[in-house]
Amino acid sequence: MLNFPLWKKLMVATILVWSLFAALPNLLSTESHSELPSFLPSKTVNLGLDLQGGSHLVLQVDMDTALKQSYENLEEEIKSILRNRNTGTRIGYRGMRSHIEQGIAFTIVNADEVQGAAQKLRKTLSGVMVLTEGSTVTVTYTVEQLHQMRRHALEQTLEILRMRVDEFGVSEPLIQRQGDDRVIIELPGITDVGRAKSIVGRTAQLTFHLVDENARAGHRLPAGTGIFYENIRDENGDIIQKIPYFLRKRPALTGENLNKAGSAFDEYGNPVVSISFDSRGTRKFGEMTKNNVGRRMAIVLDGAVYSAPVLREPILGGSAQISGNFSVTEANDLSTVLRAGALPAPIEIVEERTVGPSLGQDSIDAGRVAVVYGFIIVLILMVIFYGGFGLAANVALLFNVALILAVMTTLGATLTLPGIAGIVLTIGMAVDANILIFERIREETRRGLTPMIAMDTGFRSAFTTILDANITTLIAAVVMFGMGSGPIKGFALTLSVGIVSSMFTAILVTRWILLTWLLKTRPKELKI
């Protein structure tokens, strides 16, 4: 056990030197950090929300709206199947209505066609149940299909939110699911919380609707026509006027085939958002504008009209502009959310916490004090109880802290306030392994064994106990990291890194120091 070959010494020395250089930038001030030579590591550990300030949001996904949209799409499929324009055979129906709990229900006009209609729907549609009662047919999604739709909506929401936050330029954000319909977002270092909430919480559902010129205010609206509004805002962003538009409810085109979006300026110097479609969207947009030359087309975003220009000629290039009372920042933000895509369902901010940078700095200072005081107390106690052996353990402990910082910096991990608590805990656990070793050496010395044999036996006997204790703790830390969120993950991460590094320093670094001293001094007895 005390045999320490050259390759092992080189490996330990290389790791220790690397850890010192990699951890060094974290201990320097901003001025000193900028003066480091280019060949030295300059990366520092990322600070979490509770240390550098920022915003913590919990978002609720409106699953009912997502399911309502799915049922509306299913309703259109059912109508298409019953009409069956390809074969010319049509099944008459009336009173079709949809509900997210009862499903889609309608009545077949000819009672003899009920079973045939149900059979056709079962054969064509997937993931649904088709039930009949008299002349009434009810179509509902299966439980498995509903579960899959909810999961898909949440996964799609997560992906789109990640793209939006990446576009926003937040360093080391946290985006993860909570339960079946919630998302947690942490944006460390963010200063404009209102702007972040606007980008994150916007549905960004872009649609193009034809204006119904036959509809009139005060009269009954034609079937399929609804009232949409254009919001006129003042300089402060407050709505001062709502202009009504009568639009066809069913969009002539949606933003699902959107390819690019960016901010630009029109010929009058006003900020606008320019958009372009992919090949499929360009073809659809061209056909739609070609077939409706002379009519007005409204550009609608999240239910609000932004402009309603007259189609003077077909637009075949697949490009358009969204104009409105934009500022440059609003145009940039709108293009950001359009590039990321529309959310499958609206989301609502149900919890919000904002941590100011001053509070974060207070946490850093308090954490630094805790680490330093805890470190010093451990160093003193080790020297008091174990003398020279305690000094060797203290040197290993210094390398242990440097190794933790180096690994977390290299991995790009985020250090949180609970993470600092994990480091403090690791400091105590790191010397715990040395205490087990030293106590076993002390027992063997009292039995009258020579220093070399006593030290060899102490390391051998304590190794299994140390390994078992650290593995069980590591398992708990891994479970916390996998199943926890936010602060729990931060604590589990530093604890996991600390366990591995403490094993390395306690078993290899301490042993190398003590073996070097033992071979050089050849003491007659060990005083420990």
- Note whether 275 and 260 are within 8 A (CB): yes
Q: What is the pLDDT of residues 386-439, one digit of tens each?
A: 888 889 888 998 898 889 989 988 887 778 778 888 888 888 777 888 888 888
Residue 62 burial (CB count, 10 A): 17
Give 52-121 as a DSSP string.
H-EEEEEEEE-HHHHHHHHHHHHHHHHHHHHH-TTTT----EEEEEEETTTEEEEEESSGGGHHHHHHHH
CATH superfamily ID and name for 6-53+356-521: Multidrug efflux transporter AcrB transmembrane domain (1.20.1640.10)
* Residue 275, SS3 per DSSP: strand
| CA 297/CA 308 separation, integer angstroms | 5
Q: What is the CATH class of 64-145?
A: alpha beta
Q: Look at residue 179 in the predicted model and tell me its pLDDT.
A: 83
Q: Which residues pair with 60 in a beta bridge?
A: 182, 348
Residue 307, strand partner residues: 299
User: Do 407 and 399 touch, CB atoms closer than 8 A?
Assistant: no
- The pLDDT value given to residue 86: 55
Residues 6+ apart with CB under 8 A from 114: 108, 132, 134, 135, 137
Q: Distance (Å, rounded) from C-alpha 237 to C-alpha 83?
A: 47
- Residue 330 is predicted with a pLDDT of 79
Q: What is the pLDDT of residue 347?
A: 87
Which of 334, 337, 303, 340 is closest to 321 using CA atoms? 334
Strand partners, 246: 227
Say how many Å lie between the first and final Cα of the chain, rounded. 20
C-beta separation of 106 from 97 below 8 A = yes
Measured CA to CA in angstroms, residue 143 lies from 133, 198, 228, 274, 451 at distances of 21, 34, 35, 42, 72
**For 202-354, CATH number?**
3.30.1360.200
CA 22 to chain centre: 27
Burial code of 296-320, b = ≥16 C-beta within 10 A, e = fewer?
bbbbbbeeebbbbeebeeebeebeb
Confidence (pLDDT) at 141: 92
Spell out a b/e string for 211-226, using b for 16 or more CB atoms within 10 Å of the CB, else e: bbeebeeeeeeeeebe
What whole-number distance in Å separates Cα of residue 340 and Cα of residue 278? Answer: 15
Can you give the C-alpha Rg of the chain in angstroms? Answer: 34
Same fold: 64-145 with 202-354: yes
- What Cα–Cα distance (Å) separates residue 433 from each residue in 45, 308, 465, 477? 27, 73, 9, 18
| Per-residue pLDDT tens listing for the chain (528 residues) | 557 788 888 998 999 899 988 888 877 766 666 676 776 777 888 777 777 778 888 999 888 888 888 888 888 888 888 887 555 568 888 888 888 888 999 999 888 888 888 888 888 888 899 999 889 999 999 999 989 888 888 888 888 888 888 777 666 677 888 888 889 888 887 777 787 888 888 887 888 899 998 888 778 888 788 899 988 877 776 778 888 999 988 888 887 778 888 888 887 788 888 888 888 888 888 888 898 888 998 888 888 888 888 888 888 888 888 877 777 887 888 888 888 777 888 888 888 887 776 666 777 777 778 878 888 888 898 888 888 888 988 899 889 888 998 998 888 777 877 888 888 888 877 788 888 888 888 888 888 888 888 888 888 888 888 888 889 889 988 898 887 766 787 788 888 998 889 888 888 888 888 888 888 888 877 777
Give dist(CA 77, CA 123) in Å, integer: 13
Q: Is the dihedral of CA 55, 61, 62, 68 positive or negative?
A: positive
Domain boundary assignment for the chain: 6-53+356-521, 64-145, 202-354
Contact yes or no for 321/272 (Cβ under 8 A): yes
In 3-state terms, what secondary structure has residue 4?
coil
Q: How many alpha carbons lie under 13 Å from residue 526 in its C-beta half-sphere?
A: 29
User: Checking phi first, is residue 306 left (phi over 0); if not, alpha (psi -120 to 50) or beta?
Assistant: alpha
Q: Edge to edge, what strands does the sheet with 253-254 contain?
A: 239-248, 225-233, 304-307, 297-301, 206-210, 253-254
Q: In the prediction, which pLDDT does 193 show?
A: 78
At residue 226, the 3 state secondary structure works out as strand
Q: 166, 199 in Cβ contact below 8 A?
A: no
Helix (H) or strand (E) holding 277: strand 271-277
Distance CA 94, CA 175 (A): 46
pLDDT of residue 197: 82
